[in-house]
Structure 1
């Protein structure tokens, strides 16, 4: 056994996260466990592909200068990734203590991801962690995927819409928070206006369906 202890951090539909001691370093182990309702061979293929995909996304982001957890070890056949433990306040926690500029920083980081063809897949404010310095780490790319830059505006819009729905819950501050995000996004990615229009189209379609 390569680690000395395990403590469950979170359990989701897609994976479980454990805090472990990895050769004296605090680390996180992510496990995609087999699903009993799936054909065993199909399940193995799905878990292998998703594990490899997540590692590749993190590698691409790191190569582009985006802060992501360092990967210490991964075993696609077992659906396991062991990575750096990132400790610190999340963008959500900082926002709720009045530090609204985090939304500008989040916008800029999302734009950087999109510029290199990465859709995160779960743009929650809890997935941006300020361990040290002004730039947060981006975590949890398990639902992410690659797309061709400049050909995937709708995919980027769908990605951002997840965060827009979260910001909707901030009441009278919602519009201000969204503008801060878009300002940060536009500072990095020239597709900002097109992506923003895509989000508007998605949200208008959703309202139409609800009626």
Structure 2
């Protein structure tokens, strides 16, 4: 719909409900949400990839302890690529069942303390809610039933679906920056009252896509709040 904006949250912090309520939601028709670290606590992923997987890999292949540190370095070396998020890739490369190993510690998967309230609030505010995540479909199949997220989502898009991680330039995302904007740069780049209110009230990475006829063309900007 002309004049509407899309609001994206991709951060280790989600906005509180009070801050979200101060946005003019008549101007928002779609909210894009990240999953890990935004809706879900990152403890599960950090523990699995840096502790549980290296230890179980060593045990399953009967290797020495040095193999654990080597695997951590190998995993971190793929950070930001599609492989980093692919359970199939790591299962193939390491010769282990990654999904089965994740289920060993699935009790650590959980929503962030403020996420459920925010999702319920969005349900009442009625924008379209889309999960845009780097998690592959195997990860989603594990996490969604355990967290109940699907009940609050209208659509899910995985980086696996488009063949590129969100960090990749090949993804075509207009908001990728090599360095975060400073607070002054963010304030100077604000062009609408809604953006100004967002800067004041949201502690999150926000990408506005404005189709407003009063904007200077189709403006797209990304700002880390």
**TM-score range, shorter-chain basis?**
under 0.3
TM-score (norm 1): 0.26
TM-score (norm 2): 0.25
Higher strand share: 1
Radius of gyration: which is bigger? 2
